[in-house]
Structure 1
Amino acid sequence: MRDKLLPQLEAWHEEDEFEEIVNAVVEIPAEERDYELVNHLGRALNNLERYEEAVEQFQSVAEEGKVDPLWQYRIGFAYYYLDRYEEALRAFEAADRLEPGDEEIQEFLELIRDKLPGPEEEAAPDPADVHARAYADGTPEAALESDVDFTDLWEDSDLAIRQYVMAPPTDELIASVEEELVFRLPTFYVQMMKQHNGGIPHSRSFPVADPGSGENEHIIISGILGIGREKRHSLCGEAGSRFRIEQEGYPEFGVIICDCPSESEVVMLDYRESGNDGEPEVVHVDKANNYAITRLAPSFEAFIRGLVKE
């Protein structure tokens, strides 16, 4: 069956019958689709401008695709049209290393580099904004110039792409989400989301000292909510911060930033000490234990740095 299907998929592609390709491939159970079929599906989704779905498909075969210039080209194509230019650049640069000199790859590289600001174009931060987002230790620059490498932070599984990951937020979207939440989001978090908006990190365990035993317990997170509304697990999504605070009684002192495997636990930004112009602490809230609050970190950056593998 597969041997007959592949020539038909190519024929449909030549005839621009991309819906036919999608319909034919999705009829095959996901676990039975091999690398070639998934690539046909992803390419057709790209041609139908369904770029987020395309990324999800390409990510499902990422291990094989990393050494395939065509896979890198196709996922880079989807990232480009999602305005995720840094991810698109990495993909096309990988494609160029695997297949040097390809004209189409070079064209996309030029387009992407034109979209990304060069060092001379990066404007200095507004001092007032820096002050507003300053850390309590008096070093606001830490919020803007971090050495945290986000490249390997994320686990881009099918689940993560489907439930968490969105296109990078625009400044307008950030402003509207902050208005809806009634809290100003930490600069470090906003920078993270502009590179990768929501998702499941590889390291999801945060050690917490147990005063009784002197040993560490661990708070486990399921994922980090992104800035937006379209995904269920986003700040303003169907299972986002405002919804859970209003419907499930979580404290109104901040923003639910991470969900946990247990539906009765969340990780929150706590603005009680900092106010809306400072750097919120990160706390764990246990609804099942009378909304018990455990302080985790003095800032969101410190929380991210403290995550370890389970």
Structure 2
Amino acid sequence: MREDLLEQLETWHEEDEFEQIVDAIADIPEEERDYELVSHLGRAMNNLERYEEAVEQFLTVAEEGQDDPLWHYRIGLAYYYLDRYEEALQAFEAADKLDPGDEDTLEFLDSIRQKLAESEPVEEPAGEPVPAESKAEPVVAAAPAASATDADPDSAGFWDDGAEGAEHYISGPPADDLIASVEESLVFKLPASYIEMMKQHNGGIPRSRCFPVRGTEAGDPDHITISGIMGIGREKRFSLCGPEGSRHIIETDGYPEFGVVICPCPSGSGVVMLDYRPSGNDGEPEVVYVDKERNHKAIKLAPNFEAFIRGLVHENAYKTGLAQE
């Protein structure tokens, strides 16, 4: 039965029947979709120019895809057509490392590097002004979401430390004893990727604060916006154990106690939480949006914290039409 389905999916792909692929896989419950089916779904969405949705799908199998050059190639293609060139470059470089010399990969790498070079301001040599017409114009399309998982977040421009209210989030790097104390208070073990990120920059407001939502019911939003990311600490207003931290929000607003609030949202409409129900208190939590206005409904955003960070997009994506329904 499964082999018949995979054969049919390949046939539809060859016949450019991409909607057929999407419809067939959409009929399969999410929990029953394996890596191969999600890969087919993401590829079909790319071909339908539904790039935001393709990224969402690929991120759900990010861990399994790390050693697959096709996974990197396909998510890189989606990032490329969303003008998210930094992330596209990272993806295609990984694809080239796993499958060196692929012509399509090399073509995308050349194109991305050229676009990134064109977006860099031209420095004028001392005493030798550069003619105005020769200066490269910076790209003014939707700003790409900067990744903070593989390098210092500040070097990637991930954080906006000048944003209003940032001082209520940012603390110094947490010591190991503080991390252990906060985890004990929360009764949950924090994800390693989150701890590593906070050791580099402990809380703050990202430049890219939107995350696409793959809703399944009427009324589900197409994306959510976060106010900031809570750091590890007790003193700052918006730190995990601070005056308006995770426990305060859960107890005051009646949010479910299945995890840890890491991101408040504007106007108190909801929060982003680490959800430990599938993994247990010491496991790797999923990331969900809990909608306060809809009886605290939980909507899954990402399979882990790292995928959530990688999936953040700039608000311009929703102002310029780059985000797909």
The separation in 2 between residues aligned to 1:302 and 1:202, in whole angstroms, is: 17
Equivalent in 144, 147, 152 of residue 150 of structure 2 = 147
Consecutive unaligned residues in structure 2, runs of 5 or more: 1-147, 316-325
Matching residue's letter, 1:289 = R
TM-score normalised according to structure 1 size:
0.51
The separation in 1 between residues aligned to 2:224 and 2:311, in whole angstroms, is: 11
Q: Which has the higher contact order (CA 8 A, sep 6+)?
A: 2
Alignment of 1:59-70 (within 5 A): none
- Contact preservation (8 Å) 2:169, 2:239: yes
How many Å apart are 1:147 and its aligned residue?
A: 2.5
Give the aligned partner of residue 136 of structure 1.
none
- Contact preservation (8 Å) 2:186, 2:247: yes
Give the aligned partner of residue 265 of structure 1.
270
Matching residue's letter, 1:250 = Y
How many Å apart are 1:245 and its aligned residue?
A: 1.1
Secondary structure in structure 1 of the residue aligned to 2:250: helix
Secondary structure in structure 2 of the residue aligned to 1:262: helix
Give the aligned partner of residue 228 of structure 1.
233
C-alpha distance after superposition, 1:254-310 (max 9, x if no partner): 000001002130000000001122210000001111001100000000000000001
The separation in 2 between residues aligned to 1:156 and 1:277, in whole angstroms, is: 32
How many Å apart are 1:158 and its aligned residue?
A: 5.2
Give the aligned partner of residue 122 of structure 1.
none
Matching residue's letter, 1:147 = D
Consecutive unaligned residues in structure 1, runs of 5 or more: 1-144
Q: 1:232 to 1:216 in 2, by over 3 A?
A: closer
TM-score normalised according to structure 2 size:
0.48
Matching residue's letter, 2:222 = E
Deviation >6 Å, runs of 4+: none
The separation in 2 between residues aligned to 1:154 and 1:146, in whole angstroms, is: 12
Matching residue's letter, 1:301 = E
Give the aligned partner of residue 188 of structure 2.
183
The separation in 2 between residues aligned to 1:196 and 1:288, in whole angstroms, is: 32
The separation in 2 between residues aligned to 1:216 and 1:172, in whole angstroms, is: 39
Q: 1:194 to 1:235 in 2, by over 3 A?
A: same
- Contact preservation (8 Å) 2:149, 2:197: no
The separation in 1 between residues aligned to 2:291 and 2:221, in whole angstroms, is: 17
The separation in 2 between residues aligned to 1:259 and 1:195, in whole angstroms, is: 21
The separation in 2 between residues aligned to 1:299 and 1:148, in whole angstroms, is: 18
C-alpha distance after superposition, 1:6-26 (max 9, x if no partner): xxxxxxxxxxxxxxxxxxxxx
Q: Work out the percentage of aligned pairs sharing the same amino acid.
A: 64
- Contact preservation (8 Å) 2:170, 2:202: yes
Q: Give the superposed CA RMSD.
A: 2.0
1:199 aligns with 2:208: no
Alignment of 1:71-90 (within 5 A): none
The separation in 2 between residues aligned to 1:212 and 1:249, in whole angstroms, is: 23
The separation in 2 between residues aligned to 1:287 and 1:216, in whole angstroms, is: 13
Secondary structure in structure 2 of the residue aligned to 1:278: coil
How many Å apart are 1:248 and its aligned residue?
A: 1.4
Q: How many residues align?
A: 165
